[in-house]
Structure formats: structure tokens, C-alpha cells
Amino acid sequence: MFKPPFVDGDQADTALCGQGYAVLSPQGCEQWLGAPLAELLALQPFWNDLPPDAYLRDGGRYRSRRHGSFVVTGDRVDEVPHRAHWQPLDYNALHGGIERWFEPLDPALPPRPVWQALLRRLARSADALRGAQPWFTEAHCFRIDTEGGIGRPTPEGAHRDGVDLVAVLLMQRQHLKGGETRVFEAAGPAGQRFTLTEPGSLLLLDDPRVIHEATPIQPEGAERGVRDTLVITLRSGGFQDP
């Protein structure tokens, strides 16, 4: 198992702009966010009520999720009416080209102060990449489990998302092996592979510059393995729509 190449929280945006990604330890995430890590991890119970993903084209039942959309401009966070998640086939050959109507986020989640702080801080990182502007933001609460034997965090394989910034926050990891994160240059040979194991670890990606994936997970022992993540994407100019 390869350890993540962590950077300090105050160096996250510099690393993101320089190399196209940044990986933060839980302590680095707390420093970057400017809010207590305990408040962020206290959101994890929201992952215990995620409905199954009905759109998996590989026939699997290993993924549960919810979805919400926001527009973040500076310190202002506006939740938008519930909408479908859509990606072009160019970015998601497995599930692209269709409107996927996932169940919305629990209405008690977006008003949480630490949730608002997280979206604002991500917008600042996106501002560092592209300049200050409104950020069309989608939030996905994911649970991948091993109840059927193998769970696939990225069934579409190595990919980009067609956005400006991708954030992957590990909320929980229990009773599993696998789930290695891989980040590659989109236009070069360089790459990194590592495994996020500590809740509160954060990966930031400059989506046009890098390709990413996470390898399948398997149970470790008799208990069901669970990997909970929060994936947030920020895009300039508008949401991806058909």
C-alpha cells in the first residue's frame, strides 16, 4: 500500500496549481478548511441513508448515492432546485449521455455550517486555478460496499469529469482492502498511486490536467467492507446539461 503524498493545508492551492493535484491528510484538511475536523467528520451519519444507484450499467448493486447542486460565488452559497446529473459520453463512456435522477441530499445536510464552509473553501481553490467567478457545483455522497463481493468506486475506469475542480473527501473506510487512488497526467507519462485510509483525507484535482480512478474494493475479513466518500465538482460557465 502506497502512502499518499500529503502536502500541508496552506500549500494545497500552490500544489494544485503547480502539479494539477493536492492530497491533504486529515490534519492538513482541517488547516486548509479552517474549521474543526470533528465537525466535518460528524457529517458521516448522512451516509447511512443513501439509496441504491439504479443506473449502474454493469449490473452491480455495490453503490449508493445522493446528489445536490449549488452555485458558489465568493462567500455566497446558493442551493439550486434538484436536477439530473448528466455527463457527456466523452467523459463517461459507461454512464454518460443520459439524465440520471439521483435522490437529493438530505435537506438537513446543506445548511450545516461546515458544509457551507467546505463549499466556500473549494470555490477559493477553484478561484486560484481559474480566477474568481461563479462555480457551478455538484455534490455526490457515495457509499461503495462489498456486500456482493467486489465494489467499484469508479466503474467507468480512469477518467476526467469535464469540470474545473474535483474534490474527493474520504468519510469512512472499514473492513476492506483495495481502493487505491491513481492520478495520471492527461498529457504526459507522470502519475501517482496511493491509498486514502484516514477519514478526513482530501484529494483535489485540476480536472483538465489529470485523469483519476480508484481501484475496486474487496472485503477484508467476514464483515462487509464500506468506503464512504464525498465527491464535489466545480465547473465554470454552467452545469453540464444535455
Closest residue by Cα to residue 178 from 157, 199, 197: 197
The pLDDT, as a whole number, for residue 91 is 72
The CB density around residue 48, as the number of other CB atoms within 10 Å, is 11
Q: Which candidate, 124, 167, 134, places its Cα nearest to that of 10? A: 124
CA nearest neighbour of 171 among 115, 117, 131: 115
The span from the CA of 11 to the CA of 117, in Å, is 18
Domain boundaries, the chain: 9-235
pLDDT given for residue 123 in this prediction: 99
- The pLDDT assigned to 177 comes to 97
**DSSP three-state, residue 44:** helix
Rounded distance between C-alpha atoms, residue 200 and residue 152, angstroms: 21
Cα–chain-centroid distance for residue 153? 11
The pLDDT value given to residue 173: 99
**Count of CB atoms situated within 10 Å of the CB of 74:** 13
Q: What is the pLDDT of residue 94?
A: 66
Per-residue pLDDT of the chain (242 residues; tens, 9 = 90+): 899 999 999 999 999 999 999 999 999 999 999 999 999 999 999 999 999 999 998 888 999 999 999 999 999 999 999 999 998 887 766 686 889 999 999 999 999 999 999 999 999 999 999 999 999 999 999 999 999 899 999 998 899 999 999 999 999 999 999 999 999 999 989 999 999 999 999 999 999 999 999 999 999 988 999 999 999 999 999 999 99
Please state, for a pLDDT cut of 70, what percent of the chain lies above it.
Answer: 98
Task: Give me the half-sphere count of Cα atoms (radius 13 Å) on the Cβ side of residue 98.
Answer: 10
Return the sign of the alpha-carbon dihedral for residues 154, 196, 64, 114. negative
Asked whether the whole model's pTM tops 0.95, one would answer: yes
Provide the pLDDT for residue 93: 64
The DSSP call for residue 115 is: H
Take residue 180 and report the three cell numbers written for it: 487505491
The residue with cell 474545473 is 164
CA distance 182 to 147: 24
Q: Rounded to whole angstroms, what are the CA distances from 150 to 122, 153, 168, 218, 225?
A: 32, 10, 21, 5, 9
CA distance 109 to 43: 8
Q: What is the DSSP letter of 132?
A: S
The pLDDT value recorded for residue 60 is: 87
- Which pLDDT belongs to residue 95? 81
pLDDT at 66: 99
For domain 9-235, the question of CATH label 2.60.120.620 is answered with: yes
